[in-house]
Amino acid sequence: MAGFGRMVRDGGRLAALGASRLGAWGAFGRAHLRSPWQAVLRWPEGKAELGPRVALFVHFDGAGAVRPHTLAYVEALRAAGLSVLFVSNSGRLRPDALDALRPLCAGIIVRRNIGYDFAAMREGLHALSQSRPELELLVIANDSVYGPLHPLAPVLERIDFAQADMWGATESWQRRYHLQSYFLAVGPKVLASPAWLGFWNGVLPVQSKHFVVARYEVGLTQALLRGGLRCAALWPYRSLLREEDHRPVREDDFSDNERDPFLVLRDHHARRVRSAFAHRAPLNPTAELWRQLLDAGFPFIKRELLRDNPAHVQDVADWREVVATLNPSCLALIERDLQRVMKNRSP
């Protein structure tokens, strides 16, 4: 009976996966009938005054707000010497949000949420090509992270286009090798390349997150690699998997009378990471390796990790202690946002 139950569960998972893929391809077909240009507001009305180093920042908020942690990120980009083009998928922004953004941004585009982040990126890149066709540096970022926990200027200084043509903060081997799209940086060589231009010309406003991740997030890196361009991560995957970072907790760390639940969970997580490494099973570095990233100077922590923890990372309850040592003011902004969004879970 146990074997039969397993077969039923596996069959159900396969059916759900098939339905998801079928739905994704249906969404792709319907996307051909939509315009990629979904802007409902542009500020300023003429061309934005942009410098040679630009951040294209993608945002979404169902209430049309720009939350304090997002404003802090935009302010940090500006402080690092970047002109910010803010592209919101919210469909509208509240007047107070626009008032808060204008002193920080060189341009603002508000568009309908059709096509997720990559459709917003395409619309933002089109605006950039008209306002500032020649750039020294383009950073693409979004509001899926909390931070930065450290100033961004030293991060940008590490981007060396002599060593790689497109940089990401982190890289993933899940699905296929790709730079994770929440933070990307490219220079003139990529911006003028047929691989880059061809990829973005092919991005459609697909209403399927599964499709967008599989074809666009993974596909961007793969398209550049096929075009002979080099891609690299500022925090490489393998450097986060050093053996000493993932040793199970030693028995002497446990008291004779009780096993601290925090230590138990750290031990379980360390064993899970070592097992994945041993079996060459790819992990999501911004989830399973969050602690190692922060220890290595990574300036962000994923909002999804703290809010939903979809990868069931077992030691994530330590996040507050770790962040408090790095940036107490950022901790306050994170806790303020979690008060608003968390359900049936404490931070």
Domains, the chain, ordered by start: 39-235 (3.90.550.60), 238-341 (no CATH)
Which strand (E) or helix (H) includes residue 118? Answer: helix 116-131
Say how many residues make up the chain: 347
Task: Return the residue matching tokens 């969050």.
Answer: 290
Cα separation, 149 vs 197, in Å, equals 33
Question: Over 70: is that where the pLDDT of 11 sits?
Answer: no
Per residue in 25-55, pLDDT (tens digit) is 566 567 665 788 899 999 999 888 999 999 9
pLDDT of 246 > 70? The answer is: no
Q: CA-CA-CA-CA torsion for 344, 307, 14, 208, nearest 10 degrees?
A: 120
Q: What is the pTM of this model?
A: 0.88
Contact 147, 330 (CB under 8 A): yes
Nearest to 217 by CA among 312, 126, 142: 142
Band (297; pLDDT cuts 50, 70, 90): very high
Q: Provide the pLDDT for residue 277.
A: 86
Place of tokens 């507001």: 41
Q: How many helices and strands in the chain, by DSSP H and E?
A: 15, 11
Pairing mode of beta strands 137-142, 107-111 = unpaired
Look over the chain and give the mean of its residue pLDDT values, rounded to a whole number: 89
Angle at 320 between CA 78 and CA 329, to 5 degrees: 35
Query: Which of the residue ranges 1-15, 67-81, 258-272 would you say has the lowest mean pLDDT?
Result: 1-15
